[in-house]
Structure formats: structure tokens, C-alpha cells
């Protein structure tokens, strides 16, 4: 029992041992119940599937205001049992994105992405995706291997999102370089202002120019559709809101999808029988990806703050209480999933996992993320007979050396070296 107590006392937000194995940390917490009050911080951690679903769907009592920084200081004192109005009147940071919006404001901002997700736009983007994946995979297969996460997955996802948004071809390389220099969301190693000058701020300059130019001189492209989009009530959004919608797609979708590719490929490379099974029946790529999302999705947690006094399960939650909704832990809740740590193809109702959240803030780019991973994996399987980990880089089976990004939000490999035959 001493070991369990020690594990619980570790700080989820700063302890690198938790970074290496968050599942052990969450399972130790789960022994205290599906809702747990951290001992070191005034933060509640939700590990239960039903309880996580309850919080994610309850937009009346829980606000997304503090995303993506759950430790951001409240600029006011909590006085009373309802801080809804104070949260709505106070930006959580100077460049807040829709991930921190609530209610009608969030719905309006999300609507600006609608031009990107029409059937015709998604079809055109998937054609680009397939062609780009084909070229990238053929190049690394001919080289006999690669570092996957940074040299393939990250540029692939960046270019796919850039194409979806209609970023001009001449600017796409600059976008790739900006993304390469960005720290992971929820960076454990960032100081007080470690993310104050984020590369996404530089990217905002590009999108500001695009929106301004398209509003002045509309063109027949998706960027014009976004620039001229209206809110559901017919009003015209401020140009900066359009810019922030485009930035959000990069901020929310780039790192998570790239890391999901790494997590999925490691699973394939480590299990040759599973790899062969999927190689022989490519229709299994979809179910395989869903189980990867459940067992090792690339988003460990999302965050809420109680806007009103309420409850989560049996625990009283006062207004102002911060909540870590552990998607990773909920997706391994034994009350919901049989043998939850075991990887199983064909689990019933597998798409009920919470890897993409649930409720109003369900990931808008989930179909895009699924397509990105499926297309890239399919091309790797098509052009190889075997995918294995590079043991010169990662060590032998049973004694692997694996590095993870230092993030309390993202679950993803810092690098993954693979051999291709």
C-alpha cells in the first residue's frame, strides 16, 4: 500500500515518471473511486467512464474556460456558488481559441469550420491525402526505414490540414517549419511563460492576411468560404474569429493526429501477428484504429472548471473547482470495458470510447484524424512486407528505450524509429 500512496502523491502536471506511465498513475487513483481529489492541488481527477461522460455532457455546471491550461490563475476571487457570468466576461488568455469557449459562443465559432467539412471538400482533401501519403511512404520504404513521428507523421498531418484549409502552396513549407518548432500542448517542461510566444501566434499573421485579402477580393477557394462565412444568426464574425478558427484546427488537430499515428504504428511494429492479420485484411485497419484510440489515444485529458456548485458521482463540487477529465483512464475503466488494458480487435461498441471527447466539445476533426491515420497505415502496409522497430535505436523487445513528449495533455512518442522491408 505504501507504493500506491506514493504514486497518488506524484504531481500529474510535473512528474516525468507519470509521463512515462500515466496508466499506472490513473489506476492507483481509480482505487480511491472514479472521482478523486488530488492531494497536492485543488484539482479533482475523473477516471470513471460514466463520470467522465457526465462532466463532458454537462455544459451548464462545467465550463471549458481554462482549456488548454488547467492551472491558469482565475483573475477573480470565487465568491458564491455560481461564477458563470464572471467566466464568460473574462478571457482565459490573450489568444483564446474555441476549445475554451462555452455555450452559444462555442457553437457560433465552431460553425465557421463548416465550409471545411462538406462532402466535396473532404473528398478533395482525401485525394490530396492519399497522393501525399503514397509519395512519403514510397520514399521511406526505399530508404529501408525512417523516424516516423517527426519525419513522416508530423509533416504529413501538417500538409493535410494546410490543404484542407486552402493554405497557398508557397506558404506550406513555412507552416511545416512553424509546427516543427512548436512545443507539445501541456508541455511539462515549459516555464511560467514557456508558451507565451507560440509558433501558432506567428501562423495567425498568415491567416489574418488570407482572411483580409479574401474579404476584399473573394476567390473561388475554401479560404474565401471561411472568410465570408456567417454565424448561424446571420451576423458576420470579426475577422480575428475566423483566423482563430483556422488556428484552432492546427492547434487541436496537428499534434494529436501525428502522435496517434506514432502510437498506432508502434502497436503494429510490436505485434507481428496483429500486423500480419491486418495486412491480409485491410478492412481491419478501422477497428484496429478504434482500439488504439481506446487503449492509447493521443489525448490523455481535457479540463473543466465548475461554473456552479454541483456533483460528480458522489462528490460535491464547489464553484471554481478545477477538473481533470482523464479520457485515457475512462477508456480503461473496468466497469465499462472487459479486461480494459488488453488490446482486442472487434470489441463491441468500440466507437463509444472517449478519445475524441463527447458532447458539445466532441472533436470536430475526428473524421479527418481517422482518415489521416487509416490512409497512412494503409500505404505502409501496401508497400512493405514487414514493419519492425529499429532495435539499434529502441533496444530489444522486453527492454525498449521509448521517449514520450513531456505533456500532461498529449500521449505521444517523441520519436519512433522503424525498419521497413
d(CA 5, CA 29): 9
- Radius of gyration over every alpha carbon of the chain, rounded to an integer in angstroms: 21
Phi and psi torsions of 145, nearest 5°: 160, 180
Handedness of CA 244, 250, 252, 253 (dihedral sign): positive
Does the reported pTM lie above 0.95? Answer: no
Peptide bond into 68 cis (omega under 30): yes
Q: How far apart are CA 159 and CA 176, in angstroms?
A: 7
Q: How far is CA 258 from CA 156, 202, 299, 402, in A?
A: 8, 21, 11, 17
Answer for the pair 212, 228: CB distance below 8 angstroms, yes or no.
no
Going from N- to C-terminal start, the domains of the chain cover 2-420
- DSSP per residue, 230-268: --TTSPPPPHHHHHHHHHHHHHHHHHHHHHHHHHHHHHH
Mark residue 103 as left, alpha or beta (left: phi above 0; alpha: psi -120 to 50; beta: remaining): left
Question: pLDDT in tens for each of the 421 residues of the chain?
Answer: 334 445 567 899 999 888 888 999 999 999 999 999 999 899 999 999 999 999 999 999 999 999 988 998 899 999 899 999 999 998 877 678 899 999 999 999 999 998 888 888 889 999 999 999 999 999 999 999 999 999 999 999 999 999 999 998 889 888 888 877 766 677 766 554 444 456 777 888 899 999 999 999 999 888 999 999 999 999 999 999 999 999 888 878 888 999 999 999 999 999 999 999 999 999 999 999 999 999 999 999 999 999 999 999 999 999 999 999 999 999 999 999 999 999 999 999 999 999 999 999 999 899 999 999 999 999 999 999 999 999 999 999 999 999 999 899 999 999 999 999 9
Q: Buried b vs exposed e over 344-380: b needs ≥16 C-beta within 10 Å?
A: eeebeebeebbbbbbeebebbbeebbbbbbbbbbbbb
Nearest C-alpha neighbor of 47 from the set 26, 62, 64, 65: 26
Contact (Cβ atoms closer than 8 angstroms) between residue 121 and residue 372? no
Topology of the domain comprising 2-420:
Cytochrome p450 (1.10.630)
Amino acid at each position: 500500500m505504501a507504493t500506491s500512496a506514493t504514486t497518488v502523491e506524484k504531481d500529474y502536471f510535473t512528474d516525468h515518471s507519470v509521463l512515462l506511465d500515466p496508466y499506472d498513475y490513473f489506476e492507483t487513483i481509480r482505487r480511491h473511486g472514479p472521482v478523486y481529489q488530488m492531494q497536492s492541488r485543488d484539482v479533482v481527477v475523473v477516471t470513471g467512464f460514466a463520470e467522465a461522460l457526465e462532466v463532458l455532457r454537462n455544459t451548464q455546471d462545467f465550463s471549458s474556460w481554462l482549456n488548454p491550461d488547467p492551472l491558469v490563475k482565475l483573475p477573480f476571487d470565487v465568491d458564491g456558488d455560481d461564477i458563470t457570468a464572471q467566466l464568460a466576461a473574462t478571457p482565459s488568455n490573450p489568444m483564446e481559441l474555441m476549445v475554451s469557449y462555452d455555450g452559444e459562443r462555442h457553437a457560433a465559432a465552431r460553425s465557421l469550420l463548416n465550409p471545411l467539412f462538406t462532402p466535396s471538400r473532404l473528398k478533395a482533401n482525401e485525394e490530396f491525402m492519399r497522393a501525399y501519403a503514397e509519395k512519403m511512404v514510397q520514399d521511406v520504404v526505399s530508404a529501408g526505414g525512417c523516424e516516423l513521428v517527426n519525419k513522416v507523421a508530423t509533416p504529413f498531418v501538417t500538409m493535410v490540414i494546410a490543404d484542407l484549409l486552402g493554405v497557398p502552396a508557397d506558404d506550406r513549407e513555412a507552416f511545416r517549419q512553424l509546427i516543427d518548432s512548436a512545443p507539445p500542448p501541456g508541455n511539462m517542461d515549459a516555464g511560467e511563460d514557456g508558451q507565451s510566444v507560440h509558433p501558432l501566434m506567428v501562423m495567425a499573421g498568415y491567416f489574418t492576411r488570407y482572411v483580409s485579402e479574401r474579404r476584399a477580393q473573394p476567390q473561388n477557394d475554401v479560404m474565401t468560404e471561411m472568410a465570408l462565412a456567417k454565424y448561424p444568426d446571420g451576423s458576420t464574425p470579426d475577422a480575428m474569429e475566423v483566423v482563430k478558427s483556422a488556428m484552432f484546427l492546427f492547434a487541436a488537430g496537428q499534434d494529436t493526429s501525428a502522435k496517434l499515428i506514432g502510437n498506432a504504428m508502434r502497436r503494429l511494429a510490436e505485434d507481428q501477428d496483429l500486423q500480419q492479420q491486418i495486412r491480409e485484411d485491410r478492412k481491419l485497419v478501422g477497428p484496429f484504429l478504434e482500439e488504439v484510440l481506446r487503449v492509447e489515444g493521443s489525448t490523455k485529458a481535457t479540463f473543466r472548471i465548475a461554473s456552479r456548485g454541483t456533483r460528480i458521482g458522489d462528490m460535491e463540487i464547489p464553484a471554481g473547482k478545477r477538473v481533470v477529465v482523464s479520457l485515457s483512464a475512462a477508456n480503461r475503466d473496468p466497469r465499462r470495458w472487459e479486461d480494459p488494458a488488453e488490446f482486442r480487435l472487434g470489441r463491441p461498441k468500440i466507437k463509444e470510447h472517449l478519445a475524441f471527447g463527447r458532447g458539445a466539445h466532441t472533436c470536430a476533426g475526428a473524421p479527418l484524424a481517422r482518415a489521416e491515420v487509416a490512409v497512412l497505415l494503409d500505404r505502409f502496409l501496401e508497400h512493405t512486407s514487414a514493419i519492425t522497430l529499429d532495435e539499434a535505436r529502441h533496444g530489444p523487445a522486453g527492454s525498449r528505450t521509448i521517449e514520450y513528449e513531456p505533456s500532461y495533455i498529449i500521449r505521444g512518442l517523441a520519436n519512433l524509429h522503424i525498419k521497413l522491408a
